[in-house]
Amino acid sequence: MLYPLYEYLVRRKLAPDLFPKEICFMISEVDLLADPGRLEMIAGWCMEFSTIKRIIFHIASKDPAALEGKMPSLQSFGGSASVRLSMPSGETTFGSGTPEILIVLGRSGREEITEAIAAIAREGVDPETITEETIESHLLYQVNPDFVIKTGGSHLTDFLIWQSVYSELFFTDINWCRFRRLDLLRALRDYQSRVRRYGQ
């Protein structure tokens, strides 16, 4: 009885205008394999808040190709969200609407930046004219997460290393498989209590 009440009280105190527009969860392949359905569950919790426009999941893996067949389908979101699944074999998109759900399997930030620089070089762009905007426009993932959540410890991958430079980070010792709606609400409460400085 106390758990639902506490969850209700935490949610009630969240300010509707202070939610992150883009939220990113960083998990490991061990997390995914232990509970594939939790990815869909947590995406559903985020979708309860209409101000969250993009939900990003990054699954760190040393052998992402071996995981492709074990990814949850997420077809249930096709009617209410736009889903983009980015894997070594290519990308799959389906559905329409908001939010956008981006699931990235095994990609690294260094790999993404290297590919962006290579693309700029192939275009013959004058090095003297290259700016941050030039690089950003060539990144594979055109996202800017406001809030990055890492479950099960404080070790981050370099995924979105460029895009998340001003993101608010949240680390929890709670393992992905035990991450509850209440834990998400607590993380959002923590986010709303912060003053974002954007590197200043």
Q: What is the pLDDT of residue 92?
A: 86
Burial of 105 (0-12, 13-18, 19+ CB in 10 A): buried
Task: Determine the Cα–Cα distance for residues 16 and 6; give it in Å rounded to an integer.
Answer: 18
Q: What is the pLDDT of residue 140?
A: 92
The CA angle 157-163-165, to the nearest 5 degrees, is 75
The neighbour count for residue 33, using CB atoms within 10 Å, is 12
Which of 3.40.50.2300, 3.90.550.10, 3.40.50.2000, 3.40.1180.10 would CATH assign to domain 2-107+143-192?
3.40.1180.10
DSSP line for 149-167: EEESSS---STTTTTTTT-
Per-residue pLDDT of the chain (200 residues; tens, 9 = 90+): 577 888 889 999 999 999 999 999 999 888 888 888 898 899 999 999 999 999 999 998 888 877 777 777 666 666 688 999 888 788 888 888 889 999 998 888 899 999 999 999 999 999 999 999 999 999 999 999 999 999 887 677 788 889 898 999 999 989 899 999 999 999 999 999 998 776 65
Question: Where do the structural domains in the chain lie, given as residue ranges?
Answer: 2-107+143-192
Task: Determine the Cα–Cα distance for residues 75 and 67; give it in Å rounded to an integer.
Answer: 18
DSSP line for the chain: -HHHHHHHHHHHTS-TT-S-SEEEEEEEHHHHHH-THHHHHHHHHHTTSTT--EEEEEEE-S-HHHHGGGS---GGGTTTSEEEEEETTEEEEE--SSSEEEEEES--HHHHHHHHHHHHHHTT--GGG--HHHHHHT-S-----SEEEEESSS---STTTTTTTT-EEEEESS-GGG--HHHHHHHHHHHHTS---TT-
Helix axes 37-46, 181-192, angle to 10 degrees: 40
Q: What is the pTM of this model?
A: 0.92
Helix axes 2-12, 181-192, angle to 10 degrees: 30
